[in-house]
Chains A and B, each alone.
Chain A
Amino acid sequence: MDRLDLPQGTLDLLILKALSLQPQHGWAISERLRQVSRAMVDVPQGSLYPALHRLERRGWISANWGPSDNNRHAKFYELTRAGRKQLGAEVDAWQKLTTAVSLVLEMR
């Protein structure tokens, strides 16, 4: 099965969603996204970190160093209140977009 290229801008949405469940470190986010998408979405690991830092800069996620599950030092990201709001807005927009796109595609 071919892997999907992520449309522009969706990586942010996926990261926010992944973080909405619990704080994660970078690697865990990429693993989680791959598992959940049944490996259909290949998160480009190289873009993950710049994306994380961009979200951090915007104040949607915050970062803290803490012990990981295997007791090593890892940088954990967590959704902020602003991030939660942003996630809601982006999910909303995404659903409207997909609905609209499907409607158009089902056009006869």
Chain B
Amino acid sequence: MLGRLWSELRYRVRAIVRRGAVERDLDAELAFHLQREADKYVRAGVPRGEAERRARIALGGVERIKDDDRDVRGIGLLEIVTQDLRYAVRSLRLTPGFTLAVIMTLGLGIGATAGIFSVIDRIMFRPPALMHDPATVSRAFMSYELRGERAVDGYFEYRRYLDVQQWTHSFSQMAVYADAKMAVGVGQDAGEMLVGRASANLFSFFDVRPALGRFYSASEDTPPAGALVAVLSYPYWQSRYGGRSDVLGSTIAIGQGAYTIIGVAPEGFAGMDVGETPVAWVPVNAYAGLRNHTYADNYNWGWLATIVRRKPGVSLAAATADISTAYRRSWQAERDMDPTVAPLAVAQPAMALAPTPLGRSPDAGAEGRIPFWVGAVALVTLIVAGANVAGLLLARAFRRRREIALRLALGVGRGRLVGQLLTEGLLLAGAGGLTGLGVGWAVAAGFTRLYGDAAPLGGGLVDARTVIFCAVIALVVGLATGVAPALFGARSDLAAALKAGAREGTYQRSRARTVLVVVQGALSTALLIAAGLFLRSFGNVRAIPLGYDVDHTLVADINLRGMKLSTDEQKTLLRRLTDEAAAMPGVAGATQRVSIPFADFEGTGFTVPGIDSVRRLGPFGLQLVSPGYFRTVGTRILAGRAIDSTDRLGGPLSIVVSAEMAHRLWPGQNALGKCIKMGTDSMPCSTVVGVAENTITRAISHQAEANYYLAAEQVSRPTYGLYVRVLGRAADDVERVRRHLQTLMPGVSYITVEPFSDLVRGAEQSWQIGATMFTALGVLALALAAIGIYSVIAYNVTQRTHEIGVRIALGARVLNLTGLVLRDGLRLGVIGMGIGIALALIASRWLSPLLFDESPRDPVVVLVVAGVLVGVTCLASAIPAARAARVDANEALRAD
């Protein structure tokens, strides 16, 4: 039976694929038959000519046999499909312009959506690669009341992890990890690379075996210090060690430790990371043990993400309750050690279990929301593209209705006809999908660059899932855009279509197409308005004075990698670095740095004589600075003096306060000379020696922050790096400064330099992404809508050629004619625009929390967008209008 099926299939496929050969075969076979039959008659004495005639009669009509034979070969489904495909390809090749327009339109629409999908997929949906049964795995988050708000904290202290592990019973596995950039290697090829610090049991969450050697075991990962062993990642093993197996047993310098390589993780394993693969994994305790030896005894260092696997049959709710109970017990244990910890009744600690993908965690914040917004916008763009393609196909179907009617009259089944139109739609969608893959790759790459470190998404952005997504979208769009014209075509009135000439007796607009164009106009208007709002927000964010000059400042950090320098040696090193940096050409100044705005936030308590509760006036932010700080970063001193070299350890304590802080503590008074006591009332006075302009160090807003500055030296804080002020753009000087300063670094230590602005930009990112994505997609949608309007108007002009001819013959002037066409286009554009503005107003409710200092109904934005839309509509209608003006009355009237 199977053999017979196989034979049938082979035969039919051959019959279809090699149709020409099969037909020739049959011809030859029949010719041979005729010849033999004729020969037979000749042998019997019949003359050759007569013999051939008799042979032909005996065989019957050759064409009929061929026909019967074709039936045998079967006009199977396969052949119908291939026929339709051939037909579609042929007819699409006849109109290359149309075909290209459709494919590009689809490509852009699908590509934009697919690119954004690939990003969203990674952030929102995809569990870590190779994870075993990810549905039972969750990431644990702690939450508690803090200053009247519910704080979510995803970073466990090691001790907390031990507590929870010990006091829960719902989980079969529990592991902690913390991946971070660390110094890897020594000498010239040392650099900052992603390193996974993972507890030994993390590996058991995955279906993995080492590609080489072994993973580390629990006994190598116990407090107070684990074994210094490392498991390399596969790509790093390949790129750095050429995949050599003798790598086992050698050492790799990571951070401050020299780790022995004991294994290589398998290909594709990236631990808990979604994007970039770490270069190696090391035991949590090995890393922590190098830092201090008490991390497992107290709750001071929260740095570990925790994942748990529920036991079979344990519900998420039960598991959450279980781990929350354990957390409360652990909280109490912490409070027993440190009475300043809030009591249970106040803090109300609880745990939440969230899916592992990054964007689904409760503290995902903007990173989680933005992709959704952008995804929705991309979907809108896709709809615009789809509407455009549907419009183009409709126009095509309309133009072809005579051909279609003719074929219907000739007996082509309507089903078959619909099938053919569908095939055409799908073929176009397929080509569009392929184009879309390319576009998608570019979009995802761009998006990733924009996103920066917020969501590291390295590696192949176009993967199987994206390809499948593209295919599905293409299929849906192909069906949707193919069905509309197909229905239209199959419904068309046979007799009317055949009777009418190519020109209609009466000019009729296609309502469906008009609606499609209006939809496009509306959606692109809405997108452009959103783009405008985000652009203005971004501008507003940028316009906020930070109180320091990030554009001309570099931040340099030194990394000693565990080199033991005495305090004096370190001070000398930093002084030399500062002097060298300041002496470089193009550098305006340099100072040692301690705190960095947006990165460091400290607020040690202080008391002010004469003020009962300073806390109520807070929060107050502390920045530790060195002499020259204010000059270097460009924060102006409004009164008094800056922290300078006279503020020495042991000398009188000095403090500089921001104008806002001075205002809050001593409204209406001169702050200079006032006393602030760091810590409790018994501490000596720190005298206010200066008032600085307000700075933004925590969140970008108009709210002035109360900040104060202490001399790092007076509080015995070591410095870790420099601020360097350059004359040009900071970004241009990064490498020059780094290379020069690196020459001063002793031994394995090294220095990193980055523009100050990079550290602040993170805070502006959400507006930047919003502005970029909405603008890019809005412009794309507008371009598509313009194409849509153009094609409808151009088509209408063609339709009305006869009418226009009559008008010209009756004396219409060029201006009247172009006006006629332009009005047509403008009407569509304006209706779409109106609906779009309404849509934007409706959406403003959800948009406004994402904006900065910007009304979601900003009339300027609406007006500008309206202007752009009218302009583009005029442009799109201008070409057909010009064509209308050129219509030759004679020709138009005689045609058909």
A59 to B10, CA, bound (A): 10
A25 to B33, CA, bound (A): 9
In the complex with contacts A57-B7, A57-B8, A27-B33 CB distance below 8 A: yes
Assess whether A54 is interfacial by the CB under 8 Å rule: yes
Assess whether A41 is interfacial by the CB under 8 Å rule: no
Give the interface size bracket for B toward A. Answer: 20 to 34
A26 to B65, CA, bound (A): 14
Which of these binds chain B: A15-23, A43-51, A87-95, A96-104? Answer: A43-51
A82 to B3, CA, bound (A): 9
With both chains docked as a complex, state the minimum distance between the C-beta of A57 and any C-beta of chain B, in angstroms: 4
A19 to B204, CA, bound (A): 67
A45 to B26, CA, bound (A): 14
**Among B4, B25, B60, contact of A46 (Cβ-Cβ < 8 Å):** B60
A50 to B71, CA, bound (A): 8
A45 and B60 form a contact (CB under 8 A):
yes
Interface code B1-36, partner A: CB below 8 Å = 1, 0 otherwise?
A: 001101110011000000000000110111011011
Find the B residue at minimum CB distance from A29. Answer: B33
Residues on A with C-beta less than 8 A from B40 are 31
In the complex with contacts A46-B59, A57-B11, A58-B4, A73-B28 CB distance below 8 A: yes
Find the B residue at minimum CB distance from A86. Answer: B4
A57 and B72 form a contact (CB under 8 A):
yes
Assess whether A14 is interfacial by the CB under 8 Å rule: no
With both chains docked as a complex, state the minimum distance between the C-beta of B461 and any C-beta of chain A, in angstroms: 48
A27 to B28, CA, bound (A): 12
**Among B12, B36, B61, contact of A27 (Cβ-Cβ < 8 Å):** B36
Find the B residue at minimum CB distance from A69. Answer: B36
The residues in B between 439 and 471 inclusive whose CB is less than 8 angstroms from any CB of A are none
**Among B30, B36, B58, contact of A49 (Cβ-Cβ < 8 Å):** B30
Residues on A with C-beta less than 8 A from B25 are 75
The residues in B between 63 and 78 inclusive whose CB is less than 8 angstroms from any CB of A are 64-65, 68-69, 71-74
With both chains docked as a complex, state the minimum distance between the C-beta of B38 and any C-beta of chain A, in angstroms: 10
In the complex with contacts A46-B61, A49-B26, A74-B72 CB distance below 8 A: no
Find the B residue at minimum CB distance from A26. Answer: B33
A28 to B40, CA, bound (A): 11
Q: Interface residues of B: mostly helix, strand, loop or mixed?
A: helix
A73 and B32 form a contact (CB under 8 A):
yes
Residues on B with C-beta less than 8 A from A28 are 36
Assess whether B37 is interfacial by the CB under 8 Å rule: yes
Find the B residue at minimum CB distance from A50. Answer: B68
B4 and A59 form a contact (CB under 8 A):
yes
**Among A46, A57, A58, A70, contact of B64 (Cβ-Cβ < 8 Å):** A46
Residues on B with C-beta less than 8 A from A38 are none
Find the A residue at minimum CB distance from B62. Answer: A46
Residues on B with C-beta less than 8 A from A44 are 60
Assess whether A72 is interfacial by the CB under 8 Å rule: yes
Residues on A with C-beta less than 8 A from B59 are 45-46
Residues on B with C-beta less than 8 A from A59 are 3-4, 6-8, 11
A32 to B420, CA, bound (A): 47
B73 and A57 form a contact (CB under 8 A):
yes
A54 to B7, CA, bound (A): 11
A58 to B25, CA, bound (A): 18
A57 to B8, CA, bound (A): 5
The residues in B between 598 and 642 inclusive whose CB is less than 8 angstroms from any CB of A are none
A94 to B463, CA, bound (A): 61
A75 to B27, CA, bound (A): 11
A47 to B68, CA, bound (A): 8
A82 to B2, CA, bound (A): 11
A45 to B64, CA, bound (A): 12
A53 and B8 form a contact (CB under 8 A):
no
B28 and A53 form a contact (CB under 8 A):
no
A23 to B61, CA, bound (A): 26
A57 and B68 form a contact (CB under 8 A):
no
Find the B residue at minimum CB distance from A80. Answer: B7
Residues on B with C-beta less than 8 A from A53 are 69, 72-73
Residues on A with C-beta less than 8 A from B69 are 49-50, 53
A45 and B72 form a contact (CB under 8 A):
no
A44 to B61, CA, bound (A): 12
Find the A residue at minimum CB distance from B69. Answer: A50
A55 to B69, CA, bound (A): 12
Q: List 20 A-B contacts (CB under 8 A).
A: A25-B29, A25-B32, A26-B29, A27-B32, A45-B33, A46-B61, A46-B68, A49-B30, A49-B68, A50-B72, A53-B69, A57-B11, A57-B12, A59-B3, A59-B11, A68-B32, A73-B28, A73-B32, A75-B28, A82-B4
Residues of A within 8 A of B (CB): 25-28, 31, 44-47, 49-50, 53-54, 56-59, 68, 70, 72-75, 82
Residues of B within 8 A of A (CB): 3-4, 6-8, 11-12, 25-26, 28-30, 32-33, 35-37, 39-40, 58-61, 64-65, 68-69, 71-74
Closest 5 CB pairs of A and B: A59-B7, A46-B60, A27-B36, A50-B68, A57-B11
